[in-house]
Amino acid sequence: MPEEGTDAASEASVYVCLVESSSKKLSFPKGGKKFSDRTVLDCAYRELLEETGIRQDRLNLYTGLHLDEERFGCRYILAEVSCQRADLDFEITDSGWAPPHEDPTDK
């Protein structure tokens, strides 16, 4: 992780956003589709906002780079974020940025 007092996103070109739930499990921001979500992407934007405070207008979506894992009913969407650490929603106790090669659970 970056040194204390530095911005994680400025230390390397690629970081992933992880959130920690009240049950102390780390994961990507995620959630299920609601009736009000017209598309899977609407669902992803809503869940990201709820869990991290990151708004849709802060994202640069990579439209050709997403993984549909229909067998398990999940989808992964890649986006570049142009903001600092966001205010947290009640669902999440902590969030942060980590290099993709680092295992944040190995602490």
Share of the chain above pLDDT 70, in %: 53
- Rounded CA-CA distance 21/50 in Å is 12
In a domain, 12, yes or no: yes
Is there a domain that residue 3 lies in? Answer: no
Higher pLDDT, 51 or 35: 35
Q: Average pLDDT, stretch 1-21?
A: 58
Question: Checking phi first, is residue 99 left (phi over 0); if not, alpha (psi -120 to 50) or beta?
Answer: beta
Q: Is residue 40 part of a domain?
A: yes
Tell me the average pLDDT of the chain: 70
Asked if residue 105 is part of any domain, the answer here is: no
Q: Which domain holds residue 43?
A: 8-98
CATH of the domain at 51: 3.90.79.10
Structure confidence by residue, pLDDT tens digits, 53-90: 888 888 888 776 555 556 666 777 778 877 654 444 44
On whether residue 2 sits in a domain, the answer given is no
Q: What pairs with residue 37 in β-bridges?
A: none
Residue 84 lies inside a defined structural domain of this protein? yes
The total number of structural domains that make up the chain: 1
> Does residue 30 lie within any of the structural domains?
yes
**Does the predicted model carry a pTM greater than 0.75?**
no
Percent of the chain with pLDDT over 90: 6
**Spatial distance between the Cα atoms of 72 and 85, rounded to a whole number of angstroms:** 30
| pLDDT of 37 | 93
Is pLDDT above 70 for 25?
yes
Arithmetic mean of pLDDT, 24-41: 85
Note whether residue 104 is domain-resident.
no
Give the three-state DSSP class for 59. Answer: strand
